[in-house]
Structure 1
Amino acid sequence: MVDLTETGLVLFVLTGLITNVVFAQTHYTFVNTPLNWTNAQRVCRDDFTDLATIESGADVDAVGTTTSNYTGKAWIGLHDDLQNSWTWSLDDSSFYGEGEATYRNWYSGQPDNEGGQQNCGDFRIRYSFNGTWLTLSCRHKQWSVCFNGTLNGNATFVRIETWSTWTEAQRFCRENYVDLASIRDETENEMVRTVAGGNDVWIGLYRRHVWSDGSDSLYRNWEENQPDAAGETCVATSVQSGLWSGENCSIQLPFVCYTATPAHVEDFRSTGQSETSVTLQWDKANNDISFILRFLGTETHIRAPDGDGPVAHTVSSLSAATEYTFTVSSVFGSVRSSGVGINAVTAPPRVTSLGISRRNQTSVTLQWDKVNNDISFILRFLGTETHIRAPDGDGPVTHTVSSLSAATEYTFTVFSVFGSVRSSGVGINAVTGETLRL
């Protein structure tokens, strides 16, 4: 746990300031301690996965159920990343070749965010700016340059001599041309500089909101007239309505974290069994993930062992020749996966009373007591195995091995079998050539 304030997160739990809810594949946690967005992000990354990422209306509903006694705003993970979230209005990957979508020609010291309102790419060419780019509030009004498609493989641009905000310019270009100008290289930058004709103009570069965890989710649930780009570059949700608004990142609000549901275990299998136990094994993801094993209505918590290698666990005190269903869920914090299940059987009891009922020069007849009609047998001798079905009714099992050599000692081993699992086997030696008198 991270000690954030004088109370600390440990006391958050004790005083009931944290509320959890599991919905779908995401575990949301409401923390009712006001912090600025950056500190809230740090807490979520230290003690959960990250500030909440919301990808659907179902996630909005899930966040709303994390608390019933708070109806104000709370931070979520959406924010405006000054350095890493610049993108072009023309969102068509086929339009950009390698490296072209990330071409930039910033003026020295740009992009900045003076006053917290610099969200749009302003193309300026006056004086020393000479075709370099600066950031400017999207509410500012100036001329713009639209992209008008390609001619003979070259981009074409049109200057719009109308005073408009960036959003108004974008709408006009999309309705009348293709979009606000994208600039993919130095050649196109010079083309736009020429078209601008010495005027400050809007181009299509703008800074978009991104999720704290790097998610590419495009889901948005803005309040009307939000975001308003007035220095409010972090996003909060109304816990009551689920709608989002831009807020100044420095204000203090409660916040919503999430913990991603851990991945399912892989290669879950049975590696061994006896009459009273089954040994299970699976691959672990990392040392931060623990596990819960469920069977017969019980749950066993299992810690991931240190070092590399799989997790092995033996379940004891089972009944012989019985099929069990085992389910393993991976666990991170208080969140578990839905689980992976397998069926495994215990070994049947070994045969009893294995003996020789008769023999001659070329055969030996073996006899043993059967367990029940569900148990079959395997007879092994001279490297061969013969499958033997338990006869119906009461009485022992008998089996004659023929085509043997006279006056020869043989070793016979009998295994009882349930499903595909066999017992450890019981062996007996027998010599041909004599008749056993009972």
Structure 2
Amino acid sequence: MQFVCYNGTVGESPSYFVSTFSLNWTEAQRFCRANYVDLASIRNQTENEIIRSLVGASNVWIGLYREKLWSDGSPSLFRHWADGQPNDPSGDHCVAGSFTDSGRWSDESCSLSLPFVCYRPAPSCAGCQCCPSGTECITTNGAVQCLDPCANYTKLNDTWRSTNNTDQSFFRCDRDIAWNGWYRFYLGQSSAQIPEKCVAERRCGTLAPLWINGTHPVQFNEIVNRTVCSSYYGSCCYFTPHTIQVKLCYGYYVYKLQQPSWCYLAYCAELPFQVSAQNETSITLRWFKVSTTSFVLQFNGTETNISSPDGDRPVTHTVSSLTAGTRYTFTLFSVIGNVRNSGEQLTAVTAPLNAEGLTKLRVKETSITLQWDKVNNDTSFVLQFTGRDTFISSPDGDGPVNYTVSYLSAGTRYTFTLFSVFENIRSSGVSITAVTVPSNPLIYITAYENETSITLQLYGVNYYASHFVLQFNGTETNISSPDGDGYGYRWVTQTVSSLTAGTRYTFTAFSVLENLRSSGVSIVAATAPKNTDIFRLSARSETSITLQWNKVNSNTSFVLQFNGRETNIRAPDGDGPVNYTVSSLAAGTRYTFTLFSVFENVRSSGVNITVVTVPPNAHNFRLSELDEISITLHWNNFNYYVNFVLQFNGTETFIKAPYGPGPVTHTVSSLTARTRYTFTLFSVFENVRSSGINITAVTGYIVGMDLKLNSQTQLSESEIEDVLAELYKQYGLPQFSLKVRKVKP
């Protein structure tokens, strides 16, 4: 629809604009705010009648948009919805602002937990209530009034504040002043203003001059906020900035000043006939007009007539076709009725030419050396990078300028902007991008070496290098940079294959960024040696095993591993095999031995052999019973892992160990009466025999004996038999078939 904009008041009556074209409500609001004040608000019947007379019987948009209230009960006419919002008018009744989206609104459930913002009304200016635009609540003589700062200010007429003051004998500090209200600057009899450009440090009677980072207001009676910066230590805004207010009055500015954050900082001042802008071939001047005066600008023996512009804006005039890096003196005359005043003088310079030939001379991990051509002996330089300015004097002689920027981060891209500087005026600047040499990666040998390959791990920063180069044996391999976003360390694993077993290799790794290599870091690694081709049992006993294997070469030693222990074995001299005896072993026990070849602390995959020690002979091997045709033998059992072989008369009988701890008995039958037999008993463990024990017995004898024995402890029948058998041996008696019976007295 068409719409009505509010356009302020004329006299004491509201003024409106009625559109001749149609927009939706939001577009109409945006149009009115951009070109007038806002969509019209109808606050009473009188305003309703004025608008009705303007639009007739048409339907038009006005400024009312639903009936919503803020949480403090005040009406809400301002709207700032995000796209597609509100999207749930029936359910979500609370509103959130997303300040990642310019503070735009969305309707949300009131039960949702979010951060929140509180406000406290600003204290009212007692005695002023709400002051009109362009005025401030100012206390004069104890009375609080809404006054115009243009007519109620304090003069600051300190000649030391001039930007032309370079005296460094004494530094002032504006932090010591209790600033209150509005101030107007003077230099001599002329109205002055705070500079809008960076002032060189140690000027204006202070260490760090203060200037405003922005332009002065251009609308008459306009009050703006401006940030105040301080020039120090090569930076135009070194100390913490603060904010002041500035108002444009008729022909001058007034300032509501605040204390700076540190000493020695002080506000600078310069005359209002000033340079507004300058480049290599032109200077733009600006000044205030006092009335409908015209002006004459005089420089280089020429004069230019300048008409007074309409309105209250300052006068600007650009002088063109000038020479770069040159000082000019301008004299401005105000002309009223063909009569000139005494005139004001201003000296200004054009921006110097940019330096030519800016290039990288050398780059290292932490420094970059730049080189460029001099402009002339009067032109110095400012090198700007990472938010810092470095002042560089022009060297003597005609050669190029070399400057090294140090304390940089390795593998980092920097943009340098070089300004030529003539009398504190900078050229437009010329830029160059350069990167420092990346840091070396960390390189490790992993546990993955084998006979034909070595696996390396490179540990590098992913933003330090675009890729890596691995160099060995006169070859180079490009390795992609590790994946990952942002800063952080990453591992890169690289396996080098087709190598020779038991060989030492030297690897050198480089980080590469934009074709710049790091200095390189090296590591020596060896492939695993070959296993020995023969690994066998040479000899064994009850307590030892002798192993034998072939040497690999004279540079390869060995590690023998068994029972969780490792033994280092040096390869003997000569070409014969290696023999090694493992002692102090347990009889009749299985052992697994693993043999590794070792070259420079790198082991082969290893070969295994399982062998057993010789089992012990059976204990208490004796004659148990005999008759004319049979002999019964008796011995103690070990365990069910050890069997036996009984050998006599050229025959062997395999006897399996019985289960349980009891003794073993074995009867040899079909013998010849009154015949001597020799029996040899072997213990057998995994087909390995003991050394064997012998016993001789004769068939066909029956002997009776009457013995009386005293024992301090009670013995079993079997124990008594063992004692008697041992007694027979001691007295050289032949072996008897012996049976003990228990008889009550």
Aligned equivalent of 1:225: 378
Residue aligning to 1:165: 164
Residue 329 of structure 1: how far off its partner (Å): 1.0
Alignment of 1:32-431 (within 5 A): 143-144=159-160, 165-166=164-165, 169=166, 172-173=167-168, 176-177=169-170, 180-183=171-174, 185=175, 187-188=176-177, 202-203=205-206, 204-205=208-209, 207=231, 224-227=377-380, 241-242=400-401, 245-246=420-421, 255-266=431-442, 268-286=444-462, 289-307=466-484, 309-431=490-612
Structure 1 residues not aligned, in runs of 5+: 1-125, 133-141, 146-162
Provide TM-score, normalisation by structure 2: 0.31
Quote how far apart the aligned CAs of 1:190 are.
5.2
The structure whose RCO (Cα within 8 Å, separation 6+) is larger is: 1
Q: Secondary structure at the match of 2:534?
A: strand
Q: Relative to structure 2, which stretch is displaced further, 381-390 or 244-253?
A: 244-253
The answer to whether the Cα contact below 8 Å between 1:271 and 1:280 also exists between their aligned partners in 2 is: no
Kindly state the Cα deviation for residue 431 of structure 1 after the two structures are TM-superposed.
Answer: 1.3
When the two chains are superposed, the root-mean-square deviation of aligned CA atoms in Å is 4.5
Whether the 8 Å CA contact 2:420–2:427 is kept in 1: the answer is no
Cα offset, 1:188, TM superposition? 4.6
**CA deviation after TM superposition for structure 1 residue 189, in Å:** 6.7
* 1:268–1:340 CA contact under 8 A, matched in 2: no
Say if 1:360 and 1:262 are closer, same or farther in 2 by CA, change over 3 A.
same
Q: Distance in 2 between matches of 1:429 and 1:228?
A: 82
| Structure 2 gap ranges (5+) | 1-149, 193-203, 210-229, 237-365, 383-388, 403-418, 615-687, 691-745
Which residue identity lines up with residue 246 of structure 1 in the other structure? Answer: V
SS in 2 for 1:301: strand
What is the CA–CA distance in structure 2 between the aligned matches of 1:210 and 1:197, rounded to whole Å?
27
Q: Which amino acid aligns with 2:172?
A: A
* Counterpart code for 1:245: S
Q: Residues 346, 165 of structure 1: CA spacing in aligned structure 2 closer, same or farther, 3 A cutoff? A: same
Residues 400 and 216 (structure 1), Cα distance of their counterparts in 2 relative to 1, 3 Å cut: closer
1-structure distance, mates of 2:600, 2:613: 33
Q: How far apart, CA to CA, are the structure 2 residues paired with 1:197 and 1:393?
A: 104
The Cα shift of 1:366 comes to 0.4
In structure 1, how many angstroms separate the alpha carbons of the residues matched to 2:439 and 2:473?
Answer: 24
Match of 2:283 in 1: none
User: Residue 380 of structure 1 contacts residue 386 of structure 1 at CA under 8 Å; is this kept in 2?
Assistant: yes
Give the drift of 1:339.
1.4
The Cα shift of 1:373 comes to 1.6
Are the equivalent residues in 1 in contact too, given 2:457–2:493 (CA < 8 A)?
A: yes
The equivalent residue for 2:309 is: none
Is 2:531–2:596's contact at 8 Å kept on the other side of the alignment?
yes
Q: Is the 8 A contact 1:234 1:249 kept in 2?
A: no
Amino acid corresponding to residue 160 of structure 2 in structure 1: S
Letter in 2 for 1:286: N
Q: CA deviation at 1:432?
A: 1.2
- For 2:462 and 2:152, the matched residues in 1 are separated by 55
Cα deviation digits, residues 219-271 of structure 1 (max 9, x gap): 99985333499xxx999999972277238888586x53211212221354444
Distance 1:189 1:228 in 2: 38
Question: SS at 1:310's partner residue?
Answer: strand
CA separation of 1:379/1:406 partners in 2, compared to 1, >3 Å: closer, same or farther? same
| 1:421 partner letter | V
**Structure richer in helix, relative to its length:** 1
Q: Quick one: distance in 2 between partners of 1:370 and 1:322?
A: 16
Please give the alpha-carbon distance, in whole angstroms, between the structure 1 residues aligned to 2:457 and 2:586.
46
Superposed displacement of residue 295, structure 1: 1.1
Q: Per-residue deviation at 1:127?
A: 7.8
Identity, % of aligned positions: 37
SS of match in other structure, 1:302: strand
The whole-number CA distance in structure 1 between the counterparts of 2:500 and 2:446 is: 16
SS in 2 for 1:144: helix
Letter in 2 for 1:374: N
Structure 1 pair 129/291, CA: closer, same or farther in 2 (3 Å)?
farther
Q: 1:354–1:367: 8 Å Cα contact kept in structure 2?
A: yes
- Residues in 2 aligned to 1:275 and 1:346: alpha-carbon distance in whole angstroms: 5
Contact 1:354/1:368, CA 8 A, preserved across alignment: yes
Alignment partner, residue 57 of structure 1: none
Inter-partner Cα distance in structure 1 for 2:577 and 2:490: 46
Quote how far apart the aligned CAs of 1:281 are: 0.5
Letter paired with 1:181 = R
Q: Deviations along 1:50-73, whole A, 9 cap, x unmatched?
A: xxxxxxxxxxxxxxxxxxxxxxxx
Say whether the 8 Å CA contact 1:271–1:281 is kept in structure 2: no
| Residues 424 and 333 (structure 1), Cα distance of their counterparts in 2 relative to 1, 3 Å cut | same
Which AA in structure 2 matches 1:409?
Answer: R
Q: Partner of 1:156 in structure 2? A: none
Could you tell me whether the CA contact under 8 Å between 1:357 and 1:367 is conserved in 2? Answer: yes
Q: What secondary structure, in the 3-state scheme, does the structure 1 residue paired with 2:530 have?
A: coil
Please say if residues 359 and 435 of structure 1, whose CA atoms lie closer than 8 Å, have aligned partners that are also in contact.
Answer: no
TM-fit CA distance, 1:327: 1.2
Alignment partners' CA distance in 1, 2:155 and 2:498: 79
Report the residue type matching 1:431 in the other structure.
V
Q: TM-score, normalised by structure 1?
A: 0.51
Higher gyration radius (CA): 2
Count of aligned pairs: 267
Deviation for aligned residue 1:306: 2.2
Q: 1:363 and 1:323 mapped to 2: Cα distance?
A: 37
Deviation at 1:323, TM superposition (A): 1.6
